[in-house]
Structure 1
Amino acid sequence: MARNLATGQVSIANVAALANVSTATVSRVLSGQRDKDDDISRRVKEAAAKLNYSVNFAASSLRSDVTRTIGLVIPEISEEQTPTLLLNSLSAAIREANRYLLLAIGADAERQKEDLHSLLTRGIDGLIIISSNDENLVESLDEEYKNLPIVQIGGKSLTPHINWVGTDQSEAMRMTVDHLAEQGSHAIAYLSREIESYTAADLFTTFYTQSKALDLTPDPDWVQFGPCTMERGYQAAISLFQDRRVVPDAVVCASDSIAMGVLIACKHLGLDVPEDVKIIGYGDAPACEIAQPALTSIRPMYEEIAEESVSIICDWDTNKPRMAAYQAFKPELIYRESTWSPRTGSSDMTLPGTADN
């Protein structure tokens, strides 16, 4: 067991690690600030007794248990660019708040649980989790939400006790379908992410409802589910357009990576974009601007999401109970050439980038 080299005593971090809680929780339990007699308090007291740890209240009064660090747990970064863009915004917001970032990248649910435990034992002042729908994390988070500000970004809300910040996905899909209808599309295909995702299910429901309302109900074969990769987009487009008499005139993609694959496939098949088929992505990755033609995409409000998440943590006060925050930001439609073409016979010759979004 590691000990404080200066005093030879067990540190508060050792107690936190054994009790599987944060150092802030240990401090509150042993100082009497947290008087609730529950499993958390019992674990802390048992760990302190086992390690012969006692609080030096005189020394504690001279220092703060605030570490000015914020923990961030994110999924493994893959081909999809959205996590990178959001991570950049979070890093900037944390620096602006004069805090430090402790980053943990979990490739799977088990690794994320390990990362969560590791961050909690380092005395972080707050925790941000990006789009993790692992139900096994709920118990761990529910044990900490009263002692530590926790914000989940995106995905399905794991528990009503945890703050949630993200994108209004239903509004994003409504904007997408409405935009394509305004540009003259009549038959829309949808390449969704894996249906197991809560976000995918929510988007699919809105896509179907909005398409039906605008009399754009797609052929069942035109709605497909799969990974958010360029290869998947390419292969899906080949299956949609090659050797078929009836084809869609627009493709909605769950990610920019999928949309890029569709764009490449259309060029391979000799289809003109946007005259023959319009393509719209999601995420507004940097590559969207340099694609040929430039790719229309839905841009989440990354900076606003990051700033709101950090603000919730910095403004949190353990002595002032509050309802968990829920903030869904309306995204932007970034209007580019992949969905624009002059409409013959119409006086509405709206140019890319000049539409009223």
Structure 2
Amino acid sequence: MTKAQSNPKITLPKRPAKRRVTLEQVAIAAGVGRTTVSDILNRNAADKYQPETRKRVEDAVAKLGYTASRAAQQLARGRSGMIGLILTRDLSNPVFANRVEVVEKAIKQLGYRMQLAFTDGDPEMEASCIEQMQADAVEGLIMGPVYESLDLEQHKQILQGHLPVVLFGGTLGSQFDEVGLHPDASIHLAVKHLLSKGHKRVGFLGAPKPRTAEGPSRLFETYLKDAGLKNPGPIIWSPDTDRYDDYYPVSEAFVKQWQAMDKNQRPTAMLCHNDQMAQTTIAACHKAGIRVPEDLSLVGYENAPGSAYLIPALTSIDNRGDQQMRQAIELLMDRIQHPRKTSEKRVIYPELIERDSVLDLR
């Protein structure tokens, strides 16, 4: 038996590194000073020089193959060309990945670059990111999601400088420009939809414990009470997180609780804190032999990518995140151009996306 020969290792020749042509080299070739070259190329100040001087610089640029640094041009003009985006969550929730993409594409078309930071709900990290972006001279900052005024208390001193700031998520009545959902429209849409389908025992699954009277679970309780429901379903708390690994144990515990309840006391429908919680609950129900929606109906929130392709396809509240981000950019550009204008608040209304996860009990 012939021993197989290993393939000989192929080493490609290294390409010599191409050194970048500098302003100094252009200045020497043109027979002018470095400041003259910088004025003509970077500072939009070419008009103050004679045509022959400009021609010598242009010829030297063409001969040497000089390429201007965009960052250097912007700094020379007193701009950084950067917009900061601070997400107070992380990318465990695909909804926020979509928002990052919307912002990045939009500001690129406007001639900006994006400086991105994630804080995962850590106030100290948020403060550090704000300070870092100010030090990096970003021209404006978009920050969120921020839903409660308490989230801003620790940042007031930092944010009250001259940096243009737009908040997204909720409408807080702060001194900043804001774009966010109507404070109770999402809960109202979901509850109204479930009631219209004949559900009377409705619970809330995966709600972070509220810190104020305006928290979503508080609004949920208020709507059920106003609807005259005497025996609503349970409110199940969860960690304030966006990670599937944190949501699934909550879903699994709820399913066990639901199975242990008297059949006449079980909730027929649950409003989920977001689509991730709904997804993990569908998985937990399937594992336990509970049918969605025949045994238990579910409504999600955020209309996350992929929710339409679950089995069953998930009915969800679309919070129009793309629209929020586009309007945040509009507000920020306007604020950069008009720094002294009165703060502006834009309210976005959500939409119910009806699919297959709610059973009609009528």
Q: Fold-level match, TM-score > 0.5?
A: yes
Aligned to 1:176: 190
TM-fit CA distance, 1:77: 1.2
Note the alpha carbon deviations across 1:199-254, whole angstroms, 9 max, x for none: x94312221121122223544x7012212543144224324311210200000011
Note the alpha carbon deviations across 1:23-62, whole angstroms, 9 max, x for none: xxxxxxxxxxxxxxxxxxxxxxxxxxxxxxxxxxxxx9x9
CA distance in structure 1 between the partners assigned to 2:223 and 2:157 by the alignment? 37
1:1-357 matches, within 5 Å, as 64-77=77-90, 79-107=92-120, 108-132=122-146, 133-142=151-160, 144=161, 147-155=162-170, 157=172, 160-196=174-210, 201-219=214-232, 222-227=234-239, 228=241, 229-245=246-262, 246-317=265-336, 321-341=340-360
TM-score, structure 2 length as denominator? Answer: 0.70
When residues 319 and 238 of structure 1 are mapped into structure 2, their CA distance, relative to the original with a 3 A threshold, is closer
TM-fit CA distance, 1:111: 1.9
Q: Report if aligned partners of 2:170, 2:181 keep a CA contact under 8 Å in 1.
A: no
Q: Report if aligned partners of 2:203, 2:267 keep a CA contact under 8 Å in 1.
A: yes
When residues 259 and 194 of structure 1 are mapped into structure 2, their CA distance, relative to the original with a 3 A threshold, is same
CA distance in structure 1 between the partners assigned to 2:139 and 2:249 by the alignment? 40
Note the alpha carbon deviations across 1:118-165, whole angstroms, 9 max, x for none: 1111221100111351522111001x1xx22101112574x7221111
CA distance in structure 2 between the partners assigned to 1:312 and 1:208 by the alignment? 34
Note the alpha carbon deviations across 1:78-130, whole angstroms, 9 max, x for none: 53333223222222322233321111122422222221111111221100111
Deviates most, 89-98 or 249-258: 89-98
When residues 201 and 235 of structure 1 are mapped into structure 2, their CA distance, relative to the original with a 3 A threshold, is farther
Structure 1 segments unaligned to the other structure (5+ residues) = 8-59, 345-357
Aligned partner letter, 1:150: V
TM-fit CA distance, 1:173: 0.4
CA distance in structure 1 between the partners assigned to 2:275 and 2:145 by the alignment? 18
When residues 260 and 139 of structure 1 are mapped into structure 2, their CA distance, relative to the original with a 3 A threshold, is same
Note the alpha carbon deviations across 1:310-331, whole angstroms, 9 max, x for none: 1111122566622211112011
Task: Give the 4+ runs in structure 1 shifted more than 6 A.
Answer: none
SS at match of 1:103: strand
Deviates most, 319-328 or 167-176: 319-328
Corresponding pairs, count: 280
Aligned partner letter, 2:166: V
CA distance in structure 1 between the partners assigned to 2:115 and 2:227 by the alignment? 47
TM-fit CA distance, 1:75: 2.7
CA distance in structure 1 between the partners assigned to 2:91 and 2:257 by the alignment? 26
Q: Report if aligned partners of 1:81, 1:283 keep a CA contact under 8 Å in 2.
A: no
SS at match of 1:337: coil
SS at match of 1:242: helix
TM-score, structure 1 length as denominator? Answer: 0.71
- Percent identity between the aligned chains? 23
Note the alpha carbon deviations across 1:156-215, whole angstroms, 9 max, x for none: 74x7221111122400000000001111211101124322456x9431222112112222
Aligned partner letter, 1:101: M
**Larger Rg over CA atoms:** 2
TM-fit CA distance, 1:287: 2.6
Q: Report if aligned partners of 2:207, 2:217 keep a CA contact under 8 Å in 1.
A: no
Q: Report if aligned partners of 1:170, 1:202 keep a CA contact under 8 Å in 2.
A: no
Structure 2 segments unaligned to the other structure (5+ residues) = 1-21, 25-72
CA distance in structure 1 between the partners assigned to 2:170 and 2:183 by the alignment? 10
When residues 90 and 240 of structure 1 are mapped into structure 2, their CA distance, relative to the original with a 3 A threshold, is farther
